[in-house]
Structure formats: structure tokens, C-alpha cells
Structure 1
Amino acid sequence: MTDTPLQTWLDRDGRLLRLRLNRPKANIVDAAMIKALDAALAAQKGNKNLSAVLLDHAGPHFSFGASIEEHFPDQMADMLAVLHGLLKRMLFYPCPILVAVRGQCLGGGLEVALAGSMILCSPDAKLGQPEIKLGVFAPAASCLLPERIGPAAAEDLLYTGRSVGADEALRMGVVDRVSEDPEAAALAWFDEHYAPLSACALRFAVKAARGALAHRVSLRLDEVERLCGVDLIKTKDMMEGLVAFQEKRPPEWSNC
């Protein structure tokens, strides 16, 4: 595992902030990764020349999801607090956040992607929220997916835990573009659509367009954080699902 969970640099004459998940192949969204993302975004928030952010990843997969260990009761509250803090920063960020995805984009990894403005993925991408299969639910995705793809499609993914391929994800609205090279496609989008614009005007446009969404989701994140960290955490099946996953065996549900 690399010692640096995130690569960060400025591109396009300082107009584009590049963020790259840097713990392949899993790129687990653990506390270290979350804090690195949050710090990188915070550092550039006041940059008046910044027009957009591009989040991509090293290795063949965007992310296998959040850390299983951090879902256990002794760490869950802290994990949810830092993750939801990052997502709120992304939702309220003053410029568009483009996300380029290859391979697996699951669980907490997909939640991070969903907080962006535009998701571009490769034809081999698989996206999903498998938490329900572990006896838990996806708190942030429960807030973000209904906003992005509507309640019915969101409930499909949240209740079944199934993953969808690029074409189905595009039809559902989970992703916005499918490209053989999503990073290159995101850069081309920036060059054509954002680079010619006033970064100042773009900031106001983002605030106007995303403000209501950001406020709604922020409030809902607080609600589901309590539902998960106070109520779900007391259930036997949550522990059984997590332990079964670690032991690589089928869970034995008690339904309580």
C-alpha cells in the first residue's frame, strides 16, 4: 500500500484541481483517504482562478468502498462523521467536480462519486451499493441516489445491493457519460466547456444551481447518520454481516 492515499496537483494553468485516489487496486475510502480528500479540497476552496475539480484514480478500479473495519461499532460514528463532512464539502464546493471512473466503484467509493457534479465512466465500470448484503445500509447513498436518479431507481440499488454496468448506469442516470477513457473525456469537457468561462461567474452559477440540492442532502445526511450510528449499530445482524464478510462465509441472519 502506498503511503500517500491521494495525489494532488493543479492542471490547466492552475484552473483545474486534480485529485487521484492513490491506493490501488482497492482504493479503499478509509479515514486517511477521506481526510486527504477533504484537506485537498479545503486548501483550494478560496482559489479565485479555480474553475473545476477532476477526481480520478490510480489502478484499474475507482474504489471497492469504505473500510469494513471502520463499520464496527467502535469506529462507525467517527467514520460517518468524517465521510459525511467530506460529502458536504463536495456538495457545497464552489466549482464543478468531475469524476472519472474505471472498474469497480462501490459502496463509499460510489457515495463520494455521487457527491460530484458529473460522473464519466469506462465501459467496464461496475457501480453499486452492496451494503445491504452486509446487514447495513448506505447512509449517504440513501440521500444522494434519490436526488440523482429518482426514488424508484434508487430503491432498486439500495434494497438489492446489486451492481450495474456502464450502460445500465447511464440509462438510470447514475453516470452522465460513458467513454473508453473517462479521464481524457473529463479533460476534454473542461477544455471545451469550462476553460473559456469566467471562474467567478462559474462559482455563482454552481452556487445557484446546486444550493438547494446541497442543503437538502446535508440535512438528510445528519438524519441517516443518526439512524445508522444510533439505531442500526444496536442490531445483531449488522455485526453478523460484518463478521461474516471478514470470515468469508454466508451470513446467518437473526432478523433483529
Structure 2
Amino acid sequence: MSNLLVEKNNGIARVTMNRPPLNVLDIATMRELTTALCDAGADAKTRVIILAAQGKFFSAGVDIADHTKDRVGEMISVFHGLIRALWSLEQPTIAAVQGSALGGGMELAFACDFIVASEKAKFAQPEIQVGVFPPIAALMLPRLLPRNKAFELVLTGDAIDAHTAERLGLVNVVAAPDDFENALNAFAARLSKLSGAILRMTKRALQIPLRGEKENALREIEALYLNELMQTADAQEGLAAFMEKRAAVWKDE
């Protein structure tokens, strides 16, 4: 798996995205990441799973080239398959966000159970600025944040820093860059010292109340994205403008 690094030590599996500097998620990388996470989860010795990244960015999100009409259906299926795989892992998961988490990168981070962030980290859902919306963020941010802040992040695309994300309850721990690995390891150790069997069972209990509701809502959002949003002139214009490095000209249709 050339796009990933996988380490296992003392009950902690660490899966690291290795496409620096931006760690853009193309379809092939997302498939690899899904497989690596599922493999880590299938190991009975694994008590905690860390999702990390090499480079300046945690992830700049899903490759814009995979948003075209001929690829978007596969992209949504593969990316949401990755998110569903994360949600289905029985072990607690920690996103180790050392840099910017943008778009699908932010969605990937908050799909984990916990986020440990460097002070250098930034979080944003900038999709609206290129004429689309983030389905996972639309589903989950109103559940994770106060409604008005969730709407602000998704409808403006503006970024927040790590300390703001912590104050909003999105991030569990913020650490200075020089202390980031120590803080991450200390947080993981709080979990890995516990019974793996009881951790898995307790996480299952925590997930039961929202499982059916979340899946039904995501299917409805996916249909809106693929069958309505991607048929609009403005979605095509926004994506084309981004690829061509120019300002979009909106038609409001």
C-alpha cells in the first residue's frame, strides 16, 4: 500500500496517509485506506486505531478530479464506504490532525471517535465555494455542534483553528506542534490500557441510538447530492472554475 503506512504496537494500530504534502484522497487511496482500517479492526489484538497523516496537511480532501459527472457516483460510493467503514470499527478511533483538514479531510477526521489536533491544525468545509456541499458534514455537524455553528461552517466554507474546534467540542485535545506526538500517545494510552473487549462492547452501545437514523439520513443526502446537486449548472461551473483556477460565474441554476 504505497499511499499508506501501517504500524501496530502495544494494542494500537496506526494507519498513516502518505501522500504529502496535501494527502489528497483519490479513489484508489480511499480504497486502500478502507482496506487498511478494516484489516486493523479485524485484528483481535488491536484496542485502539489511530488515523494519521504525513506532511503539512492532514488531508486537503477528496480529489476534485473525481467530482466530474462520469466519476462522481463512484467517488461518493467509495468515500462514503470509507466513512461507513470507520463508523463500523469496533475499536475506538482517533484522528491525529497535525495540519489542515479540509473538505473530505475534515469529514474523515470527525468520522473518528476522537480528534487530537496540533495547534497548527485548521478545519474547513469549503465545498460551497466550488458549487457543491459536503454530505457527511451535512449529516454529522448538526449533531456534533450547535446548529448555528454547523450551518456557518457548511454554508460559508470558512475555516476554524484548532482551539476554536476544541471550544466547540469537535476536538478533544489541542497540543503544541513539538508536543503533538506525546499528547497523541498519551490520549491513546488512556484507552489502550483498558479491556479491548469492554471497549468494543461499550462503543457498540454508544452507537446503537443513532445507527438507523444516521444511515437513512445519509442515503437521502446522497440522493440529493447525485440526483439534484450534480445536475445543476452551478455545480458544474464551480468545479470547472476550481480546476481552471478562475472565479466561478454563478447562474443560480
Normalised to the residue count of structure 1, the TM-score between the two structures is: 0.94
Alignment check: 8 A CA contact 1:237 1:255 kept: yes
Are the counterparts in 2 of residues 17 and 52 from structure 1 also a CA contact under 8 Å?
yes
Kindly, what percent of the aligned residue pairs are identical? 34
Secondary structure in structure 2 of the residue aligned to 1:252: coil
RMSD: 1.4
Please give the alpha-carbon distance, in whole angstroms, between the structure 1 residues aligned to 2:72 and 2:129: 17
Whole-Å Cα distance in 2 between the matches of residues 109 and 94 of structure 1?
Answer: 22
| 2:238 alignment partner in structure 1 | 241
Q: 2:251 pairs with 227, 249, 254, which one?
A: 254
Gaps of 5+ in 2: none
Contact 1:92–1:207 (Cα < 8 Å) also in 2: no
Of residues 3-12 and 111-120 in structure 1, the stretch that sits farther from structure 2 once superposed is 3-12
| 2:91 is equivalent to residue 100 of structure 1 | no
Determine which of 7, 10, 32 is the counterpart of 2:8. 10
* Contact 1:91–1:214 under 8 Å retained in 2: no
What's the TM-score once normalised by structure 2's chain length? 0.95
Q: Secondary structure at the match of 2:89?
A: coil
Aligned to 1:60: 56
> In the TM superposition, what whole-angstrom CA distance separates every residue of 1:176-218 from its partner, at most 9, and x where no partner exists?
2111243331211122x22221111111011011232344322
> How many pairs were matched up?
251
User: By how many angstroms is 1:133 displaced?
Assistant: 0.2
Between 197-206 and 218-227, report the one with greater CA deviation: 218-227
Partner of 1:118: 114
1:158, 1:183 → 2: CA distance?
Answer: 30
Aligned: 1:38 with 2:43: no
Instruction: Answer whether contact 1:92 1:214 (CA < 8 A) is retained.
Output: no
Retained in 1: the 8 A contact 2:124–2:158?
Answer: yes
Match of 1:222 among 212, 219, 229: 219
The question of whether the paired residues in 2 share the 8 Å contact of 1:128 and 1:157 is answered with yes
Structure 1 unmatched ranges of 5 or more: none
Q: How many angstroms apart in 2 are the aligned matches of 1:87 and 1:182?
A: 25
User: d(CA) in 1 for partners of 2:201 and 2:139?
Assistant: 24
For 1:215 and 1:7, how far apart are their aligned partners in 2?
Answer: 33
- SS of the equivalent of 2:42 reads coil
CA distance in 1, matches of 2:212, 2:41: 18
